[in-house]
A = this chain, B = another copy of it.
């Protein structure tokens, strides 16, 4: 149309210097006018770069709970991709198909890199990913291998240790943990932090106070009620999810316990966009680690790795904020056992 060669048009549109400004302007105007955009597939074929990133999300029923977290993580990652001109490809995968999926992603060359979600204990994916030539970044860590790969993770251990110590300092001695499923790497680290803090105070973690399940509201409700029925119930509790904390609050309210007075709760808070923890003063004292920010960081890291594949593995360990809200307070004075015996 413009009487120019393909070469010139290509150079003009891709910002190469060997095109005169006048020509470039003409080309750009024409492209805009006719809504021309280089065909992604052809471009990818020619350049060898797909300009797309794959997110592989395990869809085993046991991990459905991860969904709300994925949504925010992906929103964060999406921001980075959009700014860099990358597309995001999403693959939901059944556990048993995982091996095949990673192989295919590598072979089909439809993406330039992979973000790996929800690493589990003894996760087989590490080897699978190594086998593909594609760069990858893990959100979380593989517990069974070193740091020889790229990851972004929060310091779960430190966070839960800190929160537990906070409760200990308030005088609590019976502190419960409502953890997520412990085949997830992050859940294991959280428990370690919790146990560590207790041990440093000379306390032994009590089996009846340590729970692990999908982080639903009902789980928080149910587990709390059961523990309140123990002979020696907890006076405080840590939970791995704000949703679960809602269940805890419901259970307490049902038993007439005031949060922050009669019973203390610290929650982990992924800062999900649609599930905020109070406004100015948070309802819940919480460890906050914005999952959307994790998404941004992981995406940015992956793009860096793609740009420089020879770089040494990158690791980002993020510390959680600790925000004191209304759900924690000093341990209530011990109730005389004679009195306690009377309560149902």
Contact = CB atoms under 8 A, between A and B. Distances in A.
Given A78-B90, A274-B64, A274-B214, A108 B72 contact: no
Central interface residue in A50, A218, A273, by most chain B CB within 10 Å:
A273
Interface stretch (A36-44, A144-152, A153-161, A302-310): A36-44
A237 interface: no
Central interface residue in A70, A110, A216, A249, by most chain B CB within 10 Å:
A110
A122 interface: no
Given A82-B91, A90-B89, A59 B75 contact: yes
Contacts of A246: 217, 246, 250
A108 B274 contact: no
Nearest to A272: B67
A198 to B, nearest CB: 29
A262 interface: no
B91 A87 contact: yes
A91 B90 contact: no
Interface residues of A, number: 58
Nearest to A107: B37
A275 interface: yes
Contact of A275 (B50, B75, B216): B216
Interface in A87-105: 87-93, 103-104
28 contacts: A36-B107, A37-B103, A37-B104, A37-B108, A40-B50, A41-B42, A41-B50, A42-B45, A45-B45, A52-B89, A64-B274, A67-B72, A67-B274, A68-B71, A68-B274, A70-B71, A74-B90, A74-B92, A75-B92, A78-B90, A82-B93, A88-B90, A216-B274, A216-B276, A243-B274, A246-B246, A250-B250, A253-B253
